[in-house]
Every structure is written in structure tokens, then in C-alpha cells.
Amino acid sequence: MERIYLDDAVLISVLDSISGEKQCNAKFLAGKVIHDKMNRFRVGKSLITVELELCGEDVFLTKDGDLFETDNSPCITEVSCAEFLLMRINSFKLTQILAMRQNTNKAKLISAFDD
């Protein structure tokens, strides 16, 4: 099975915050493509995989059967479902999501979406 190789990979845990509990419902891998023999993804492109089926130290299998390998052992970052949707739908990067979390000026944060 051909692998897709990622650089600067991060394992994203999407949390379900029902009843104040933090439960991980789904895991995804995000990173920059450095090699893809199948030419499905452009080298240098950042991507978020579909939901992961199996996770190893640096090898990951998606529910669609794609195999990804990372050049690092990815750290795990927990995000809410809303944050994940911003990443998936609006192409926000994880660094942008984390910066939004730190922003205490809500008016400035909201105006950033007016552009």
C-alpha cells in the first residue's frame, strides 16, 4: 500500500463537550505533504485527513483506507467540534485556531471575519 508522507504533523482530537465531559469522538491528522507517489496531493499542500481508523507512532490509517506516515511523532491537540469545523470548512490552520483561543478582545476577533 502506497503511503502519503507528511511533515510537521499534528494529531487532532475533536472533543465532544456534552455534560461538561471531555470525550474524544474522532481523531484526524493534519500536516504538510512532502511526498505522495500516487500524486493525489500536491507537495507542499497542507491537509487534514478524513477520520483515522488506526494510529501508530508515526503511521496512520484513515477510515477510507489511506495510509499516512509522518516525519515526526505528532503531538496531540484537542479542539472543539466548532474549532474543527472552522479548520475544515474555512481552511483555518491549527495555529490560527489556537491564536483565536488566546484572543481576549471579542470585538476584534469578530471583525476579523468581516473581510
pLDDT in tens, 4-17: 999 999 999 998 76
**In sequence order, what E strands does the chain have?**
3-16, 23-36, 46-48, 52-55, 59-62, 67-70, 75-80
Share of the chain above pLDDT 90, in %: 49
The DSSP 8-state label assigned to residue 86 in this structure reads: H
For residues 38 and 50, the answer to whether their CB atoms sit within 8 Å is no
At residue 104, the pLDDT reads: 77
pLDDT in tens, 33-63: 999 988 999 999 999 999 999 998 899 999 9
Q: Which residue carries 505533504 as its cell?
A: 33
Q: What angle do CA 61, 18, 88 make, to 5 degrees?
A: 45
Residue from 101, 67, 84, 62 nearest 16 by CA: 84
Strand partners, 104: none
CB atoms within 10 A of CB 9: 22
pLDDT in tens, 84-97: 998 988 888 888 88
Q: Is the per-residue pLDDT at 113 higher than 90?
A: no
Q: What is the pTM (predicted TM-score) of this model?
A: 0.82
State the amino acid at position 77 in one-letter form. Answer: T
